[in-house]
Structure 1
Amino acid sequence: MAPGPGAAEPGPRLAIRLIIAVVAAGALAPAVRAAGHAADSGFFVAIRDNRVRPEHRIIAAMEFLGTEMDRLVPKGSRVYLHEPNETWRFRLQEVAVMHALVVTPDEAGADLVLRLRPDPGSPAGVALEVTAAAR
């Protein structure tokens, strides 16, 4: 006769199920943290609360740079990003592509060169400098 639903499971099966449950919970923790961060950033973008945190400054700077790209650079232009900081170069590439610009790996293939420069007078603390590419 088969054991009923309330019967205790054999040791190895129970251990395997517990291990799977612990691994699943461990995998879920980073996703919950990332979802919380995304919700916080989305709240900042939607509401513009007065909390000042580094990631909020970056979001504001990227939005400002996107607006400047729309204003200063014609859509479809081939651009070279002259930015020594790898993190900001990646961010600029992301914003440039979102604003219909073609990013080239070298200045020779570009029409324009984009550079970031500090600008305490701008809302984001940075400005976008656009110059013709040297050919």
Structure 2
Amino acid sequence: MRRLPLPQLVASLLVAALCGVALLQAIRPAVHSGRMGVKTVRTAHLQHPTRQFRELIEYLSNEMRRQVPAGTRVLIVEDVQDLQLRMIEFAVLHGLVVVAGDAQVKVYLQKDPAAPYGMWLRTQELADA
């Protein structure tokens, strides 16, 4: 059996280590998704806060798609910055045009304990400018 010279051996080990690191980085998203899936199934019977927030976000997205036709100029009004950013994302994903002025429809959230997930997505038609 032939032995590799020391520089070639070090280079081979370095390449193997870099490939291992790259492989670990590549499987991280799959491991995260798998863990989230298992957590979702395990907590299906519980009222877990993360699950409730995810369901709220899905509800708001579906309501925006249902209530506002694509191509509409919308003004998003929301005090909670995280929810405002999510609503802007939904608007863009559903083909709406988000504007700061000259909007056709104002979209806002109304808190109500009787509403699904504690709030309604409301829309208000604005006078054409």
The structural deviation recorded for 1:24 is 3.4
Query: Aligned partners of 2:19 and 2:56: how far apart in 1?
Result: 37
The one-letter code matched in structure 2 to 1:11 is L
Q: Specify which of 51, 58, 63 is matched with residue 63 of structure 1.
A: 58
1:131 and 2:124 are equivalent in the alignment: yes
After TM superposition, where is structure 1 displaced by more than 6 Å over at least 4 residues in a row?
none
Other-structure match for 2:113: 120
Q: Normalising by the residue count of structure 1, what TM-score does the alignment of the two structures yield?
A: 0.65
1:102 and 2:93 are equivalent in the alignment: no
The one-letter code matched in structure 2 to 1:12 is P
The gaps in structure 2 that reach 5 residues or longer are none
Tell me whether 72-81 or 36-45 shows the greater mean CA deviation.
36-45
How large is the RMSD of aligned CA atoms in angstroms?
A: 3.2
The structural deviation recorded for 1:114 is 1.9
Query: Aligned partners of 1:54 and 1:30: how far apart in 2?
Result: 29
> Percent identical across equivalent pairs?
33
Q: Normalising by the residue count of structure 2, what TM-score does the alignment of the two structures yield?
A: 0.67
The structural deviation recorded for 1:65 is 0.7
The one-letter code matched in structure 2 to 1:60 is E
Query: Aligned partners of 1:121 and 1:51: how far apart in 2?
Result: 20
The structural deviation recorded for 1:62 is 2.0
Query: Aligned partners of 1:57 and 1:76: how far apart in 2?
Result: 30
Query: Aligned partners of 1:83 and 1:14: how far apart in 2?
Result: 61
1:33 and 2:28 are equivalent in the alignment: yes
Query: Aligned partners of 1:95 and 1:41: how far apart in 2?
Result: 22
